[in-house]
Amino acid sequence: MNHLYRVFAVVLLIGVSSGCHTLDKTLVHREWMVDGVAREALVHLPPAGATNAAPVIFAFHGHGGSMERSAEMFNYQALWPEAIVVYMQGLHSPGKLSDSQGKKPGWQFAVGEEGDRDLKFFDAALASLEHEYRVDERRIYASGHSNGGAFTYLLWAARGDRFAAFVISGSAAPDLLTQLKPKPLLAVTGRNDPFVKPSMQRETIDAVRKINECGEGQTGERFCTIYPSKIGATVETYIFRGTHNFLPGAQPVAVKFMKDHPKP
C-alpha cells in the first residue's frame, strides 16, 4: 500500500477532558504518516464496522480548534452510532480572519496550498478506512465549521465525487463556487455571526442553490428552510439567532440530513 495511506499507529481509547466535559470514550486516537508528518484524528468505530457496510463522516474544526472540541461540538457518534466518524486535527497554518502568523491549527483554503497536506490527509484516512473496514461508498459525508467549513468546501471542489452530501457551518467559499458540482448541502448560519458575515454565507448558499437547480424555499423544522432540487441535490438552511458557533440543536438536523441523502 502507498506509504501515504499507511496507518502509523493506533493507541488506546482515550477520555480526554476539555473544560467541564469528558470526551466520548468510544473515540479512538489514530495517526497516519502523510509526507513524513504524523496526522491525528479521533475516530468512532462502530462494533459492526468490519462486517457491515458503514457510513463515514469526516468532521473538521475551525481555526484554532481541535479534534477534541470538534467531537464535543458535533457529537455525531452519539446520534449515528452505526457510522464511522473521523474528527480530524489540523496543523498550524495562517488564518484568513485572524492568526496571520499561523500559530494555531487550521486547514488549507485552496488546492496547492501547504503542499496539499490536508487533502492528502483526507486521502490517507479514507484509504485506510476502506482497507480496514466495510465502508458504504454511497454514504461518505464531510462536515466542517468556520475554517473547517471552508476546507469542507475545498473537499467538495477537489474530491467531490467521493461524497454523498455536506454539512457546513459558519463558512463561505466565494473562490470555489465555479469548481463545485451538484451535491446536497445543509448550511448552518448564526444570524449575528461577527466573523463570517451572514451576507457572505448567504451569497455562497444562493450560488449553490443555482448549481443544484433548486426551487423556492419551503418551511421545514424549526430554523430550517428546504430548497428542493430538480436533480436530487437538496439545499437546506438552518439559520438561528446566534453568532459564530454550531448550535447543539443543529446536531440532530445534520444527522437526519446526512441519513436522508445517500448517493443516488
pLDDT value of residue 108: 97
The DSSP string of 69-120 is HHHHHH-HHHH-TTSEEEEE--EE---SSS-TT--SEE---STTGGGGHHHH
Beta-strand pair 21-22/17-18? antiparallel
User: Hey, which residues does 28 pair with through a beta bridge?
Assistant: 13, 43
Phi/psi for 165 (5° steps) reads: -165, 170
The enclosing domain of 31 has a CATH number of 3.40.50.1820
Between CA 75 and CA 80 the distance in angstroms is 9
Residue 97 belongs to what domain range?
Answer: 3-260
Number of structural domains the chain divides into: 1
261 burial via Cβ count (<10 Å: 0-12, 13-18, 19+): buried
188 burial via Cβ count (<10 Å: 0-12, 13-18, 19+): buried
pLDDT value of residue 3: 36
Task: Give the DSSP H/E element, type plus range, for residue 152.
Answer: helix 147-159
3-class secondary structure, 104: coil
CA 150 from chain center: how many Å? Answer: 9
- Residue-wise pLDDT tens for the chain (264 aa)? 333 333 333 332 333 323 334 567 889 999 999 999 999 999 999 988 778 999 999 999 999 999 999 999 999 999 999 999 999 999 999 888 787 877 899 999 999 999 999 999 999 999 999 999 999 999 999 999 999 999 999 999 999 999 999 999 999 999 999 999 999 999 999 999 999 999 999 999 999 999 999 999 999 989 999 999 999 999 999 999 999 999 999 999 999 999 999 999
Between CA 186 and CA 180 the distance in angstroms is 15
CB atoms within 10 A of CB 218: 11
pLDDT value of residue 250: 97
Q: Nearest Cα to 148, choosing from 104, 112, 101, 213? A: 104
pLDDT value of residue 47: 87
Beta-strand pair 84-88/37-44? antiparallel
Q: What is the pTM of this model?
A: 0.90
Quote the cell numbers at residue 253. 438536523
Cβ contact 170:200 at 8 Å? no
Angle among Cα 252, 249, 46 to the nearest 5 degrees reads: 35
